[in-house]
């Protein structure tokens, strides 16, 4: 199946809402139940330093990655990444394609030096993907977030371009 990576458009809001409402995507991120279409539309409103990529397969939006460059002038070499793939498309290379597009953009077009993210410490699929992309663990945030009634730890990871 051909996977296309493109920038998200305003019309993708409903598909993104539905992707992040899936049990795996919700529990791997900071999304809440009962997501709102209006909030997703606002998230897609263009803003400085924000790039939202989506992966599409045969017209279906199957994955998303957002890259936000830090606005502070002394941290303009840094961006934060968040991502998710549809539950029924996990483990099929979509996350790797999105991450490759994001690191190419960061390294070769935006001139960024440091990419940051947080990941739940027990999210083995995400950890495998991030390590493969060159991220390393920099620390552990205990009781980072509430997930289905339980406080869970997260790891801070970053990737430095030489």
Cβ contact 41:6 at 8 Å: no
Question: Quick check: 35 binds ligand COA (CB under 6 A)?
Answer: no
Q: Which stretch binds ligand COA (CB under 6 A): 8-16, 36-44, 103-111, 128-136?
A: 128-136
Of 55-114, binders to ligand COA (CB under 6 A) are: 83-85, 90-96
DSSP state of 45: S
Cα–Cα dist 21/136, whole Å:
28
For Cα atoms 144, 25, 27, give the angle at the middle one, nearest 5 degrees: 35
Question: Which residue, 29 or 69, has its beta carbon nearer to ligand COA?
Answer: 29
For Cα atoms 49, 65, 97, give the angle at the middle one, nearest 5 degrees: 120
Query: In whole angstroms, how close is the CB of 73 to ligand COA at the nearest point?
Result: 27
Question: Which residue, 69 or 86, has its beta carbon nearer to ligand COA?
Answer: 86
Question: Which residue, 76 or 114, has its beta carbon nearer to ligand COA?
Answer: 114
Question: Which residue, 61 or 119, has its beta carbon nearer to ligand COA?
Answer: 119
Among 28, 66, 69, 101, binds ligand COA (CB under 6 A): 28
Contacts of 69 (CB under 8 A, 6+ apart): 48, 49, 50, 76, 78, 79, 110, 112
3-state secondary structure (DSSP) of residue 114: strand
Residues within the interface to ligand COA (CB under 6 A): 24-25, 28-29, 83-85, 90-96, 119, 123-126, 128-129, 132
């Amino acid at each position: 199946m051909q996977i296309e990576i493109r920038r998200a458009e305003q019309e993708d809001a409903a598909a993104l809402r539905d992707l992040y409402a899936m049990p795996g995507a919700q529990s791997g991120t900071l999304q809440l139940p009962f997501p709102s279409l209006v909030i997703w539309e606002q998230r897609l409103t263009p803003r400085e330093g924000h790039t939202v990529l989506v992966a599409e397969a045969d017209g279906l939006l199957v994955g998303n990655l957002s890259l936000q460059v830090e606005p502070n002038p002394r941290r303009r070499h840094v961006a934060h990444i968040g991502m998710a793939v549809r539950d029924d498309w996990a483990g099929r290379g979509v996350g790797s394609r999105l991450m490759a597009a994001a690191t190419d953009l960061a390294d070769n077009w935006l001139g960024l030096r440091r990419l940051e993210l947080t990941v739940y410490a027990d999210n083995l699929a995400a950890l495998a993907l991030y390590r493969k992309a060159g991220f390393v663990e920099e620390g552990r945030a205990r009781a980072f977030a509430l997930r289905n009634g339980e406080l869970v730890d997260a790891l801070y990871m970053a990737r430095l371009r030489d």
